[in-house]
């Protein structure tokens, strides 16, 4: 059902610990070899190539690559009222949290007439990718769009794979979420080709496309499979990206106070995403480990996507990790750097404060990852594969850039001119010093 890794009584270096922990092997390099020709073809052939790729990968050839306005109205009209209410609640909560994320500028006066200011400026245009493989993700529409809107981005475009069941348009629930958010530039384009379209733009090839189907963007964000991650890697530098996000993962740090049903249900909730999803329990309680194993079997076999869940739980990326103590468990989960980390221990809030490496931390028995996936108010687009050691989840900061403004008076520059000249000469760049001296 799930592997066990016993770290009790072992003293491991940081490197040994990282190597010992379960992790999905994501071969972005291999995927990049397959993706590079796709990117080149989209650049050269535009909408024709996007239609060919949709036919090849999605089984449908979209007539409208850009979703027409009537489709949003139809999708919203057909949305289940309870789902609409849930989406609206999620939008409200996510917007409140992201509004608080807006960074503040500053002004520093270093001397009379010597001032440096910093202001935050939103990027001009973003491309937001919403996957559409094994599940439907209107929640990802909300997470991407709200963060960009609260950053003040003036131009937003969304792409999601075309669906055979929806006449070659993205899933109706995706379109309904876009309608609720006021986004009307949406493309029926999936996978690596969507990233290529956003990075380089795409010319239209049929009358309904117009001369230009899609203008290029400045930043591409959103989760996706390994091919989306590979495409992001290849266009990075042409555009900014949020991260090379991989398959989802959950780690749970638990002691004997945790409820095994809660732990098992939470591990399964993330395994449901993908056969390669990672579900990891780190615990100091052998009794809890055994109880969770028993409940995993019953729950996994009874859930709708049991085949997918069972494959994920049995994979090398998932495990129950036994440790001597919560103290050792903190070292383990910090080394793992999970996308989602639950703390189900005594004094969970205090334990959470000691964690440095996690995309998002969920504290206590009533803060499951599923809450963060939808309605906590936090963003669910988070770093995976250990990237939480150096990267943050999606937020307002993903869509803004800092601009420094320098303003010195003649007197302020004169006071330090000789020091600038000395520094320039020390670097053997005398023209730098001369550029200051000429003003005096």
Closest CA to 322 of 364, 359, 286: 286
Known catalytic membership, residue 340:
yes
pLDDT score, position 161: 97
Residue 258: phi, psi to the nearest 5? -75, 150
Cα separation of 51 and 64, whole Å?
Answer: 9
432 is in an annotated binding site: yes
Give the tens place of pLDDT for each residue, 414-433: 999 999 999 999 999 999 99
Mean pLDDT of 88-111: 98
How far apart CA 265 and CA 260 sit, in angstroms, is 8
Return the pLDDT at 26. 67
Digit-coded pLDDT (tens) for 315-343: 999 999 999 999 999 999 999 999 999 99
Lowest mean pLDDT among 22-36, 111-125, 187-201, 252-266: 22-36
Q: Tell whether 171 is in a known binding site.
A: no
From 339, 389, 397, 434, the catalytic residue? 339
Taking residues 281-306, what's their average pLDDT?
96
> Would the annotation count 307 as a binding residue?
no
pTM for this entry:
0.94
User: What's the whole-number mean pLDDT along residues 4-26?
Assistant: 90
| Percent helix / strand / coil, the chain, rounded to 5 | 45, 20, 35
Residue 208 counted as an annotated binding residue = no
Is 149 known as a binding-site position? Answer: no
Residue 95 pLDDT > 80, yes or no?
A: yes
Average pLDDT value over all residues in the chain = 96
Confidence band of 408 (pLDDT split at 50, 70, 90): very high
273 annotated as a binding-site residue: yes
Report the C-alpha gap between 425 and 440 in whole angstroms: 18
Examine the residue annotation and report whether 339 is marked as an active-site residue of this protein: yes
DSSP assigned state of 63: S
Q: Is 427 marked as a binding-site residue?
A: yes
**Region of residue 203 (left: phi > 0; alpha: psi -120 to 50; beta: else):** beta
Using CA atoms, how far residue 101 sits from 94, 281, 349, 397, in Å, is 11, 31, 22, 8
On whether 270 is known to bind a ligand per the annotation, the reply is yes
Of 340, 342, 380, 434, the active-site residue reads: 340
Distance between CA atoms of residues 343 and 281, nearest Å = 10
């Amino acid at each position: 059902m799930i592997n066990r890794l016993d770290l009790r009584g072992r003293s491991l270096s940081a490197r040994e610990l990282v190597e010992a922990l379960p992790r999905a092997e994501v071969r972005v390099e291999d995927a990049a070899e397959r993706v590079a020709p796709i990117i080149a073809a989209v650049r050269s052939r535009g909408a024709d190539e996007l239609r060919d790729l949709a036919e090849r990968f999605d089984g449908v050839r979209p007539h409208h690559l850009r979703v027409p306005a009537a489709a949003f109205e139809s999708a919203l009209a057909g949305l289940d009222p309870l789902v609409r209410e849930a989406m609206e609640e999620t939008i409200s909560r996510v917007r409140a949290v992201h509004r608080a994320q807006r960074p503040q500028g500053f002004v520093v006066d270093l001397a009379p007439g010597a001032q440096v200011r910093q202001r935050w400026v939103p990027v001009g245009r973003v491309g937001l990718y919403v996957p559409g493989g094994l599940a439907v993700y209107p929640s990802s529409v909300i997470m991407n769009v709200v963060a960009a809107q609260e950053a003040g981005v003036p131009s937003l475009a969304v792409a999601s794979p075309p669906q055979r069941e929806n006449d070659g348009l993205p899933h109706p629930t995706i379109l309904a979420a876009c309608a609720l958010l006021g986004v009307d530039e949406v493309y029926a384009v999936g996978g690596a080709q969507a990233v290529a379209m956003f990075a380089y733009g795409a010319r239209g090839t049929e009358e309904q496309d117009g001369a230009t189907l899609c203008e290029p963007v400045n930043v591409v964000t959103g989760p996706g499979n390994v091919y989306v991650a590979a495409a992001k890697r290849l266009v990075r530098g042409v555009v900014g990206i949020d991260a090379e996000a991989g398959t989802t993962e959950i780690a749970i740090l638990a002691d004997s106070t945790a409820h095994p049903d809660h732990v098992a249900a939470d591990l399964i909730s993330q395994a449901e995403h993908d056969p390669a999803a990672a579900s990891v329990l780190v615990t100091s309680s052998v009794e809890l480990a055994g109880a969770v194993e028993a409940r995993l079997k019953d729950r996994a076999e009874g859930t709708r996507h049991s085949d997918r869940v069972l494959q994920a739980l049995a994979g090398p990326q998932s495990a129950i990790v036994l440790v001597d103590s919560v103290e050792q468990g903190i070292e383990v989960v910090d080394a793992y750097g999970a996308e989602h980390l639950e703390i189900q221990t005594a004094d969970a809030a205090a334990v959470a404060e000691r964690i440095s490496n996690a995309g998002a931390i969920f504290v206590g028995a009533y803060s499951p990852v599923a809450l963060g996936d939808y309605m906590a108010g936090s963003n669910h687009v988070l770093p995976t594969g250990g990237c939480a050691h150096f990267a943050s989840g999606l937020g307002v900061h993903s869509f803004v850039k800092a601009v420094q403004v320098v303003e010195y008076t003649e007197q302020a520059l004169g006071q330090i001119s000789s020091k600038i000249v000395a520094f320039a000469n020390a670097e053997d760049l005398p023209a730098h010093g001369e550029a200051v001296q000429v003003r005096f």
